[in-house]
Every structure is written in C-alpha cells, then in structure tokens.
C-alpha cells in the first residue's frame, strides 16, 4: 500500500524477524528465562520413580538372561513383560519428570532421537482414543508411516512386528486416560487386552510405562492379569503442612538462583498457602506460577520478586477480576476456585451498558441453562 513504510527485509527468516523486532528489554529477560524454564527441581518422588524404573529394567534383564541361557527356562513370570504406572492429577509434573528420567538413563541412550536405536519409545494417547488410533500413534513413533486406512487388527500386527524389527522393548504411553473419554466399555476392554497382549507376547514381550490421571490405575485394576504385573508411582498433591518447606525451596531455586531476584517476604506461611491454593496444590503448576511471576518481574526490571508479580501471573493465567485474585484478595481468598476464576458472577455483567439497559427493560425470561 502507498504511504506505508515497512521494515521488512527480503528473504528474512520468520523467526529471525521475530528476534529482530523483540525489544531489548524482552530479549534480556528472555535470556534469563531460559535458565528459569530449563531448571529441574529434584524431589523425593524422583528417587521413588528411579527405583521403580530400576525394577522394570531389572525384570527385563532377568527375562533376557533366561532366554539367552536356555529358552526352555523362560516360563512363568520370567516370560512376561511388566508395567509401571505413573499417576497424578493434571499439573503434578508427571510428563516432564518421566521425560527427564528417560533422557538421563544410559539404558535409554538415544531417547527422543528418531534416528537412534533406543530401546524405549514414548507416545501420547490421542484424544479421542480408540485402539486403532492408539496403534497408529505407536507406529508413527516407530517411524512407520502409512496413508492407508488400516484395520485395527492389522495396525497391532504391524506394531508387534515393528517393535521387534526396531529392537524396542519399552513402550511409554502418556495421557492414557484418553482411552476412558468415550466411556465405551468394549473399547476400554480392547485396550486392556492389547496392553496385556504386549506384555505376554511369546517372542517379543514389551515392558510398559503408562502415565496419566489416577483413573488409569482403576482401568488397569479391572483386569487381574494386568494388575498383578503392574507397579505404581503416585504423584500426590502438595499440602501446606508437609510441603511448605519444599515450596520455599522452589521459590529460592527459580527466583533467586536462576532469575537473580530477591524474594523479600515471600516465605511466610500465609503467602505459601496462597501459592498452593492458586496452583490447586499441584507441584507442576506451582513451578509454572513461580516462573511466570519471575518473568513479570524481569520484564518490569524489578530487582525483587513480589506478591504483585504473582498476582499479575495469576491474572494472566486465569483471567480473573482483581477481587477474585488469590494473591491480593483481602479476605475469603481460600474460597476462590482457581479453575473458575474466569467466570463472572452474572453473565449480564459482561454486557455493554446500552445492551444491559435494554435487557433490564425486557420481560423475557433469561436462559440460565449455561450458568
């Protein structure tokens, strides 16, 4: 258009253009945030998960040892694969914790590298999830691509073949609760039977790591043969009584050590209680709120992390109005549900004044079905 000047550089890469247009202040804060976002905080549950992964690997090695020594000895429990579930509410940090453990274990060298020869692959159960779609996700993770509309039984025959062909003995399925979304008992039973079949496969048994919401443990316990082959790690919600010290250390690590900020009076029980409530007592969400608050402080070039930065982070995350902000509400903050902070008391509060006036004059009954 005439009269409009642009600073577009011919053939400039889109990401390079974004970096060029980023302000110096944002870029500087971004450099610090790389350290904040990439930091990993180790907790006792890491040791528990590590021990259970050790058990899973040991069970696999026992099975291989029996096979290598004498195939006729590979009977009973030695012949079967095993499963480990990692369950917890949304935002408890299951996926990131598992990913970190997979990356650091030498047994799984090459994890995440499509050209590697890792014995472990990881998939996320699709949503909605059927047995066929789950199998297609596993095939894609194995590097097997097809445009054909394969039938369910063909898909899983291919899965077995590709697992053996590529030397994959361990399969991680994340968000397995997606199987339960359809509430189709036949579909759920088929998934149960298929997982059991993977572990019981005579020539190439598979060791499973299944993560998701607590409901998956109930799903697996519905089949006694699967249940007896499975061990569990539970990511519990945080509590003020047990975990206040842990949360203080989180603030110290992410805000002080990684972001270089002072923290002032953020160590009080009252503030920790607000932070826990705002994060619905989930470990991963608590970390995200601390990281988001640190970013607000860095953007404002503040030397210290304050309650106001947490309030801004919570408002951006939830869309709450000021009197529904858990970090600044004067009273009854513990009665605010963070998941409903975006909701307003009355849908009419969101109507522009002119329309609101007309609504009051109207005698038509209000439709309250979606309240």
Residue with more model confidence, 183 or 6? 183
pLDDT-derived band at 291 (thresholds 50, 70, 90) equals: very high
Backbone angles phi, psi at 221, to 5 degrees: -70, -15
The token pair at 73 is 């000895």
> What would the mean pLDDT of 48-64 be, rounded to a whole number?
95
What pLDDT shows up at residue 360? 46
pLDDT-derived band at 365 (thresholds 50, 70, 90) equals: very low
pTM: 0.82
What pLDDT shows up at residue 183? 78
The token pair at 185 is 């008992």
Residue-wise pLDDT tens digits, 250-268: 999 999 999 999 998 899 9
Check whether the bond before 168 is cis (ω within 30° of 0): no
What pLDDT shows up at residue 80? 85
What pLDDT shows up at residue 165? 95
Range in 17-21, 319-323, 331-335 with the lowest mean pLDDT: 17-21
The token pair at 151 is 């039938």
> What would the mean pLDDT of 141-170 be, rounded to a whole number?
93
What pLDDT shows up at residue 356? 44
What pLDDT shows up at residue 27? 60
pLDDT at 349 over 60: no
Give the C-alpha distances (Å, rounded to integers) separating 189 from 125, 186, 227: 16, 5, 14
Give the C-alpha distances (Å, rounded to integers) separating 164 from 65, 119, 318: 18, 10, 46
**Percentage of the chain lying above the pLDDT 70 cut:** 82
Q: How far apart are CA 142 and CA 38, in angstroms?
A: 27
Residue-wise pLDDT tens digits, 196-253: 999 999 889 999 999 999 989 888 887 788 888 899 999 999 999 999 999 999 999 9
Give the C-alpha distances (Å, rounded to integers) separating 136 from 125, 132, 183, 214, 265: 10, 6, 21, 25, 52
pLDDT at 18 over 90: no
CA dihedral 267→270→272→273, nearest 10 degrees, is: 170
What pLDDT shows up at residue 238? 98
> Is the separation of the CB atoms in 348 and 356 below 8 Å?
yes
Taking alpha carbons only, the member of 298, 270, 320 closest to residue 24 is: 298
pLDDT at 296 over 70: yes
> What would the mean pLDDT of 48-68 be, rounded to a whole number?
89
Taking alpha carbons only, the member of 216, 199, 191 closest to residue 135 is: 191
Q: How far apart are CA 346 and CA 365, in angstroms?
A: 15
pLDDT at 357 over 70: no
pLDDT at 359 over 60: no
SS (H, E, C) the chain: CCCCCCCCCCCCCHHHHHHHHCCHHHHHHHHHHHHHHHCCCCCHHHHHHHHHHHHHHHHHHHHHHHHHHCHHHCCHHHHCCCEEEEEECCCCCHHHHHHHHHHHCHHHCCCCCCCCCCCEEEEECCCCCCHHHHHHHHHHHCCCCCCCCCCHHHHHHHHHHHHHHCCCCEEEEECHHHHHHHCCHHHHHHHHHHHHHHHHCCCCCCEEEEEECCHHHHHHHCCHHHHCCEEEEEECCCCHHHHHHHHHHHHHHHHHHHCCCECCCCCCHHHHHHHHHHCCCCHHHHHHHHHHHHHHHHHCCCCECCHHHHHHHHHHHHCCCHHHCCCCCCCCHHHCCHHHCCCCCCHHHHCCHHHHHHHHHCCCCCCCCCC
pLDDT at 3 over 80: no
Mean pLDDT for all residues in the chain? 86
Residue with more model confidence, 366 or 55? 55
> What would the mean pLDDT of 66-85 be, rounded to a whole number?
68
Range in 74-78, 108-112, 160-164, 194-198 with the lowest mean pLDDT: 74-78
């Amino acid at each position: 258009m005439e009269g409009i000047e642009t600073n577009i550089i011919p053939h400039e890469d889109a990401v390079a253009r974004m970096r060029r247009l980023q302000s110096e202040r944002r870029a500087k804060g971004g450099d610090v945030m790389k350290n904040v976002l990439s930091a990993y905080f180790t907790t006792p549950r890491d040791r528990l998960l590590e021990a259970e992964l050790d058990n899973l690997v040991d069970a696999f090695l026992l099975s291989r040892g029996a096979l290598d020594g004498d195939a006729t000895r590979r009977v009973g429990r030695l012949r079967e694969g095993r499963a480990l579930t990692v369950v917890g509410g949304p935002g408890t940090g299951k996926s990131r914790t598992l990913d970190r453990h997979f990356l650091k274990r030498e047994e799984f060298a090459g994890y995440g590298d499509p050209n590697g020869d890792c014995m472990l692959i990881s998939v996320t159960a699709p949503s909605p999830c059927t047995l066929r779609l789950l199998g297609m996700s596993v095939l894609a993770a194995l590097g097997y691509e097809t445009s054909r509309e394969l039938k369910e039984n063909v898909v899983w025959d291919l899965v077995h073949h590709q697992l053996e062909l590529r030397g994959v003995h361990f399969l991680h399925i994340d968000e397995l609760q997606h199987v339960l979304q359809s509430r189709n008992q036949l579909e759920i039973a088929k998934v149960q039977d298929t997982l059991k079949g993977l572990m019981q496969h005579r020539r190439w048994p598979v060791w499973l790591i299944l993560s998701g919401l607590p409901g998956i443990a109930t799903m697996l316990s519905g089949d006694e043969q699967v249940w007896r082959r499975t061990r569990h790690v539970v990511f519990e919600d945080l509590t003020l009584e047990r975990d206040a010290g842990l949360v203080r250390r989180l603030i110290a690590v992410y805000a002080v050590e990684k972001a270089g900020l002072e923290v002032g009076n953020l160590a009080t029980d009252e503030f920790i209680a607000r932070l826990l409530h705002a994060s619905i007592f989930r470990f991963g969400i608590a970390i995200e709120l601390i990281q988001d608050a640190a970013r607000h402080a860095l953007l404002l070039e503040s030397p210290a992390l304050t309650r106001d930065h947490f309030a801004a982070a919570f408002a951006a995350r939830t869309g709450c109005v000021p009197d529904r902000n858990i970090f600044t509400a004067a009273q009854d903050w513990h009665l605010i549900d963070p998941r409903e902070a975006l909701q307003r008391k009355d849908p009419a509060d969101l109507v522009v004044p002119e329309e609101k006036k007309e609504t009051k004059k109207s005698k038509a009954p209000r439709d309250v079905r979606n309240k």
